[in-house]
Amino acid sequence: MTVIPAVQTHALGKRYGSRWALRDCSLAIASGSVTALVGPNGAGKTTLLHLLIGLSEPSAGEVRVLGWSPREQPQVVLPRVGFVAQEHPLYRGFSLAEMLNVGRKLNAHWDEGLARERLARLDIPLGQKVHRLSSGQQAQVALTLALAKRPELLVLDEPVAALDPLARREFLQSLMEAVAEGGLTVLLSSHIVSELERVCDHLVILAAGGVRLAGSIEQILASHRLLVGPRVDPDGVAREHQKHAVIQESHTERQTTLLVRLNGAGVDVRWRSDDVGLEEVVLAYLGQQSMRRTEPERDLTEVAS
Amino acid sequence: MIEFRLNSRSGVPTYLQLVQQVRHAVRLGLLQPGDQLPTVKEVVGGLAINPNTVLKAYRELDHEGLVEARRGQGTFVLQGLTTTTPAEHAALRAALLRWIERAQEAGFDEEGVAALFAAVVRSAFIEEAA
């Protein structure tokens, strides 16, 4: 039996007026994975997430969520997808009991027991009004409401950006507990890379409206190396290292430093080869934008699958 | 029951830190045969890490024969750690010392020896895992 990816897009694009917010985006998100979508502000992260949950219509290409189109078959897709928006929108004047009421009425598969048990564990009384909660508690309530839908796919847009470090840790603990219970695929966008490495098992790097790199974090870390060796002219780099994809390069008079994605071949013994951290890899791919602009003839950005 | 800690600056992958902490606890006798390891949910709820990381660590320990996953019950310590005998230990140490002397004769300093050793250990264990 082949498992349908939780999310699959093909050449997906979204244009606002003459500007493409997202372009030629093809990716697959494995069922059961926890995937981080990273990129600078304006990279198209929110646009992509909104396309997945049917909030906006693609200008080009195709999107499938749990095997279906979110715009054409919303009645099949939406009950199985949970979404936590950036600002954790809740009805501010409502009490939590009233919020649960709304959740129950709007969702066919509402799990009231799960919602109440989670709120009790978080020590948030049901009589409390939403606007009296701390931002960490509001984030937890938004997560609780999304999880009580019993979704198969949970989409979170910058879930921890506005939280202090303690609230951020507690939020991620709750999220990982939910994943440990099984049957849940998570896609979350973020521009904080440091904490993603613990929480996520897959990564998609989005920059300037396109996918720069996608894959399992383990594979990404294993396949990228920092090479330091004798100076090679920028034009010579591609010649000498054609077997690897050069993501980032810098040169002094004597020395050349390259961040490369290995393509199976070994590394020349004259080069010192070091591991790279996830944050460095991400920054290298994001920095590639400016490099491409100055050297448009060289194609270094083919996407690993 | 033991509690895991993580050192995010050590450079050691998270799953390996969990593996090492279980081995360490078994070696010290903090974990005895029959003891249960924390459940995946308990670990991720405490450390805010991906459940697959915990599963990977437990699978590795299972593969080593140190623990056993019992369906629906949890993961339990199976045996103590078998350590090498003092004689084996001494023989391995002597062989390694001879190799270091040869490396020194070839011009390697301490750092060079350490780097070469680490690289060989790494590739040997990567090949074994593959």
Q: Indicate yes or no: CB of A180 within 8 angstroms of CB of B6.
A: no
- With cut-offs at 50, 70 and 90, classify the pLDDT of residue B71: confident
3-state SS record for chain B: CCCCCCCCCCCCCHHHHHHHHHHHHHHCCCCCCCCECCCHHHHHHHHCCCHHHHHHHHHHHHHCCCEEEECCCEEEECCCCCCCCHHHHHHHHHHHHHHHHHHHHCCCCHHHHHHHHHHHHHHHHHHHHC
In a domain, B6, yes or no: no
In a domain, B73, yes or no: yes
Q: Is the CB of residue B7 less than 8 Å away from at least one CB of chain A? A: no
- What is the assigned CATH class of domain A219-294? alpha beta
- With cut-offs at 50, 70 and 90, classify the pLDDT of residue B130: low
Do B35 and B65 reside in the same domain of the chain?
Answer: yes
Q: Report pLDDT for A2.
A: 62
Q: Chain B interface, mutation test: which of A175, A177, A267, most B Cβ atoms within 10 Å?
A: A177
Chain B, 30 to 59: residues with Cβ < 8 Å from chain A are: 40-41, 44-54
In a domain, B4, yes or no: no
Chain A closest-CA separation from residue B53 CA (Å): 8
Which position has the higher pLDDT, A174 or B126? A174
**CATH among 3.40.50.970, 3.20.20.100, 3.40.50.300, 1.10.1060.10 for A7-208:** 3.40.50.300
The conformation of residue A264, written as its DSSP 8-state character, comes to S
Q: Indicate yes or no: CB of B44 within 8 angstroms of CB of A173.
A: yes
The CA distance from A235 to A238, in Å, is: 6
Q: Report pLDDT for A303.
A: 41
Q: Indicate yes or no: CB of B49 within 8 angstroms of CB of A199.
A: yes
Q: Is the CB of residue B16 less than 8 Å away from at least one CB of chain A? A: no
User: Which H or E run contains A6?
Assistant: none
Q: Indicate yes or no: CB of B45 within 8 angstroms of CB of A177.
A: yes
Domain boundaries, chain A: 7-208, 219-294
- For residue B112, give its domain range: 86-129
- Tell me the two tokens of residue A209: 């409206």
Q: Chain A interface, mutation test: which of B12, B15, B44, most A Cβ atoms within 10 Å?
A: B44
Q: Report pLDDT for A239.
A: 65
Q: Indicate yes or no: CB of B53 within 8 angstroms of CB of A173.
A: no
- Tell me the two tokens of residue A294: 């100055």
Do B100 and B64 reside in the same domain of the chain?
Answer: no
Instruction: Find the closest chain B residue to A182 by CA distance.
Output: B51
The CA distance from A234 to B130, in Å, is: 35
The pLDDT profile of chain A, 305 residues, written as one tens digit per residue, is: 567 899 999 999 999 999 999 999 999 999 999 999 998 888 899 999 999 999 999 999 999 999 999 999 999 999 999 999 887 777 878 889 999 999 999 888 899 999 999 999 889 989 889 889 988 899 999 999 999 999 999 999 999 888 888 989 999 999 999 999 988 999 999 877 877 888 999 999 998 878 999 999 989 998 999 988 888 877 777 666 667 888 888 888 888 888 989 877 677 777 888 888 888 999 999 887 554 443 333 333 444 33
* H-only helix segments in A107-147: 112-121, 135-147
Q: Report pLDDT for A13.
A: 95
Do B22 and B54 reside in the same domain of the chain?
Answer: yes
Query: What separation in angstroms does the CA of A150 have from each of A103, A111, A187, A293?
Result: 12, 7, 15, 45
Query: What separation in angstroms does the CA of A140 have from each of A90, A175, A278, B37?
Result: 11, 9, 27, 28
What phi and psi, each to the nearest 5 degrees, are found at residue A169? Answer: -60, -45
Instruction: Find the closest chain A residue to B43 by CA distance.
Output: A177
- With cut-offs at 50, 70 and 90, classify the pLDDT of residue B83: low
Do B72 and B94 reside in the same domain of the chain?
Answer: no
From B77, B97, B119, the end of a domain falls on B77
Do B18 and B66 reside in the same domain of the chain?
Answer: yes
In a domain, B36, yes or no: yes
Do B69 and B20 reside in the same domain of the chain?
Answer: yes
Q: Which domain CATH number covers B72?
A: 1.10.10.10
Instruction: Report how far Cα A127 is from the mean position of its chain's Cα atoms.
Output: 35
In a domain, B70, yes or no: yes
Chain A closest-CA separation from residue B125 CA (Å): 14
In a domain, B125, yes or no: yes
Q: Report pLDDT for A294.
A: 38
In chain B, the number of structural domains is: 2
Nearest by CB: A181 against B14, B41, B53 = B41
Q: Indicate yes or no: CB of B8 within 8 angstroms of CB of A198.
A: yes
Contacts across the A-B interface (CB distance below 8 Å) = 47
Do B64 and B24 reside in the same domain of the chain?
Answer: yes
Q: Report pLDDT for B128.
A: 62
Do B67 and B105 reside in the same domain of the chain?
Answer: no
Do B99 and B69 reside in the same domain of the chain?
Answer: no
- Name the burial class of residue A265, with classes exposed (0-12), middle (13-18) and buried (19+) by CB atoms within 10 angstroms of its CB: exposed
The CA distance from B84 to A297, in Å, is: 59
The CA distance from A30 to A33, in Å, is: 6
Query: What separation in angstroms does the CA of A37 have from each of A177, A185, A203, B74?
Result: 20, 13, 6, 33
Do B92 and B56 reside in the same domain of the chain?
Answer: no
Nearest by CB: A198 against B40, B41, B50 = B50
The CA distance from B102 to A177, in Å, is: 53
Do B99 and B73 reside in the same domain of the chain?
Answer: no
Give the three-class secondary structure for A43: coil
Q: How many residues does chain A have?
A: 305
